[in-house]
């Protein structure tokens, strides 16, 4: 499963990228706001750090304006993925932009039917939101599984990008059910290395080593 990092924090992106933990980046208007930077400037810097897809989201609501914004964003770098919402206008924009050879990430997906029509519109990625479904007492992972089966049934090339990932368990479950990609904040990705038994074992090793009175260097 590919790891995308959901942030515009270039220092965090660099750290994870240097460890081979970043296959791409996702951003949205809320993330850009949090960065406090100009969208074109920060997105260009991110694209210079990461070789994989970098999602930059349109903010228009009408198809023609989305297409114009998408074309502008795609000029930033060759690895830009234009992010559009899963609305009828968003699907129109997806069809045009993907037809022009641009990568398109269709976001805010909450049903298998939405994922199906996004694939038919030529989406490169579909972004089902796991955490937000969990918030309303639905199992977001069931949606990932349904989309996986539908895409496999009919051979769609659209990649399932598990989004709104909030916990390490979400990462495990998304990998088990067959998501192609997951995107998560840096804190979640770094938490994947943590386990209390690892900490406990390391503490015991340190105590035992101290008792030997030895040094390696």
What single string gives the DSSP state of each residue in 159-170?
A: EEEEBS--SHHH
Contact (Cβ atoms closer than 8 angstroms) between residue 140 and residue 115: no
In the residue annotation, 44 being an active-site residue is answered as no
Contact (Cβ atoms closer than 8 angstroms) between residue 112 and residue 146: yes
The dihedral through the CA atoms of 127, 62, 119, 145 has a sign that is positive
The C-alpha atoms of residue 130 and residue 44 are separated, in whole angstroms, by: 28
3-state secondary structure of 96: helix
Q: Which of 83, 92, 190, 200 is catalytic?
A: 83
Alpha helices in 110-178 (DSSP H): 112-120, 130-135, 140-154, 168-177
Hey, which residues are catalytic here? 83
């Amino acid at each position: 499963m590919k790891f995308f990092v959901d942030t515009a924090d270039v220092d965090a992106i660099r750290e994870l990228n240097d460890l081979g933990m970043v296959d791409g980046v996702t951003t949205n208007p809320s993330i850009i706001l949090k960065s406090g930077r100009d969208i074109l400037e920060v997105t260009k810097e991110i694209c210079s750090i990461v070789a994989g897809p970098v999602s930059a989201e349109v903010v228009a609501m009408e198809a023609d304006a989305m297409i114009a914004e998408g074309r502008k964003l795609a000029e930033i770098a060759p690895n830009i993925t234009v992010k559009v919402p899963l609305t009828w206008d968003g699907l129109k924009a997806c069809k045009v932009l993907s037809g022009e050879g641009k990568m398109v990430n269709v976001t805010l997906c909450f049903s298998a039917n939405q994922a199906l029509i996004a694939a038919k519109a030529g989406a490169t990625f579909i972004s089902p939101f796991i955490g937000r479904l969990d918030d309303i007492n639905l199992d977001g992972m069931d949606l990932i599984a349904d989309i996986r089966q539908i895409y496999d049934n009919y051979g769609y090339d659209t990649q399932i990008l598990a989004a709104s990932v909030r916990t390490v368990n979400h990462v495990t479950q998304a990998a088990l059910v067959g998501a192609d990609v997951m995107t998560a904040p840096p804190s979640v990705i770094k938490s994947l290395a943590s386990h209390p038994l690892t900490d406990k074992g390391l503490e015991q090793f340190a105590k035992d080593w101290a008792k030997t009175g030895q040094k390696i260097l």
